[in-house]
Amino acid sequence: MAVIVIITAFVLLWWYGAFIPGWVDWKESRTDIGTGYAVVKDRSLTLYEDDKCEKIFWKSPKDLFVQDILIKDIDMDGKEELIMLVWKHGSFGEHMPFWVKKNDKALKQHIFIYRFDENREDRLRPVWMSSQIDYEIASIASGAKERIIVTDLNGVSNQWMWRDFGLKMAGRSDSCDISLLCAGDNLIHLSLINKTKDLNELYDDIRDDIKLSDIAVLNQETILVDDNGAVSDYPKFGTPITVGEAIVNAGFDVINLANNHALDKGEYGIDTTLEFFESKGIECIGASKCGDYSEKASDRIRYIEKDGIKVAFLGFTYGTNGQPQLEGCPHTIETFDDEKRIIRQLDHARKRADVVVVYAHWGDEYETTVNEQQRKYAGLFCEHGVDIVVGTHPHVIQEYELIKNNDHQTLVFYSLGNLISGQTKSGTKIGGLAKINVHKDADGQITIKDYELKEVKAVR
């Protein structure tokens, strides 16, 4: 009987958390949840519906040991969620992976996420119930841009963010910096090609700037062709693919194709250009091959991660010089026509990247004054979390500024003018390179540290 009593007592103590590691820092907190409070005390969580903490509407189960909580809009749907760091028995929840035949009884850490839902009796809707965590978590904290900072027993902190469905690690929680270089219109007239023996020379003046940047972006104004018979000049450009080789050799990482000349050679031109750059490992934005067409707006976003900072790139144009979108592929070229689609893309990018960069082909040609369309869409981009907007199309340099929406700031270069061109009109012979340094704090907060517009000679 004594042995049975001892064993029973041991099992009960184990089941009710007596043998949870001694290093655990059991938090006590009182957090505002609108009209009431979430109170963590004695390893349990109680949710009160009034500010006097008298009316309880939910209490954590006795076999759930609450280490800490956060109230945060983790999935960026505009509503706050309850995030709990808990200890519980069993490596998995009620719905185990199909390859697991039987749950164990191990006492492990998990992160649970609930959405507040007035339509449910318990007022909480389970959103994500993690399986056991692979390492022991000392603490969780709120980070920037709807992220949480998870610190392990060794003091190593990582950022976790919501991606599609569930929390995913988004890199170390360290401060880091990257530099971006953004170039304007690469407008290749045949006069440039005819007088240039080595096309690589077209980019000699900016080669060092590209080399010193972490990511370099270019607006390829003229479409590439691999058939000499398709080579042509204004008004419907067809640029020899050897120019593409020179662009690759210069060191550009991202090419924007959302511009008014993108459909000058129809499906052939788009396919040729995309296939060429993709074969060289260079990302293209603002366009897709008709054969790869998808209605999913998120398919057009390209991501590059450098030194712990993930950057999303998107491109849009005001139009395509009257050339219709390819049959059956209404968004071969991304335009400003479908504002809801633009917003879906921006919101998708914002949830998955530290920095969002948009190339916007807009404005009035040869005008140094910013027009209403540019102001409107700059405001829209800022409202939906874009960090940097790079304008192209006017072929002359326009102003640049920081604009603000609530607590978010967006750096807007309304027009960088021409990078390379055979144009001779006033203002078209000088272009600009946008040079931007981005800093990420340990909590994930992004800051544009400094920026400048460096003037370059557009006519080589």
Tokens of 434: 């946008």
**pLDDT recorded at residue 56:** 92
Average pLDDT of the segment spanning 392-397:
98
**pLDDT recorded at residue 453:** 97
Band the pLDDT of 7: cuts 50, 70, 90: low
**pLDDT recorded at residue 422:** 93
Question: What is the three-state SS of 51-102?
Answer: CCCCCEEEECCCCCEEEEEEEECCCCCCCCEEEEEEEEECCCCCCCCCCCCC
pLDDT in tens, 276-303: 999 999 999 999 998 776 777 778 899 9
The answer on pLDDT for 421 being more than 80 is yes
For the whole model, what pTM was predicted? 0.84
**pLDDT recorded at residue 184:** 97
Average pLDDT of the segment spanning 153-180:
88
The answer on pLDDT for 217 being more than 90 is yes
**pLDDT recorded at residue 12:** 53
Tokens of 227: 């058939």
CATH 3.60.21.10, applies to 176-457: yes
Q: Which regions of the chain carry the CATH code 3.60.21.10?
A: 176-457
Locus of tokens 């009884």: 105
* Per-chain mean pLDDT for the chain: 91
Q: What is the CA radius of gyration of the chain?
A: 27
The answer on pLDDT for 11 being more than 60 is no
pLDDT in tens, 332-385: 999 999 999 999 999 999 988 999 999 999 999 999 999 999 999 999 999 999
Tokens of 175: 């401060």
**pLDDT recorded at residue 171:** 79
DSSP state of 376: H
Query: In sequence order, which ranges of 285-396 are alpha helices (DSSP H)?
Result: 339-352, 372-383
Is residue 151 within 8 A of residue 160, CB to CB? The reply is no
Is residue 217 within 8 A of residue 257, CB to CB? The reply is no
pLDDT in tens, 295-333: 777 788 999 999 889 999 999 999 999 999 998 888 999
The answer on pLDDT for 36 being more than 60 is yes
The answer on pLDDT for 68 being more than 80 is yes
The answer on pLDDT for 135 being more than 90 is no
pLDDT in tens, 428-456: 999 999 999 999 998 888 999 999 999 99
Is residue 386 within 8 A of residue 402, CB to CB? The reply is no
**pLDDT recorded at residue 75:** 86
Work out the percent of the chain whose per-residue pLDDT is above 70: 94
**pLDDT recorded at residue 14:** 53
pLDDT in tens, 72-105: 999 888 889 999 999 998 877 666 666 767 777 7
Is residue 417 within 8 A of residue 429, CB to CB? The reply is no
pLDDT in tens, 406-419: 889 999 999 999 99
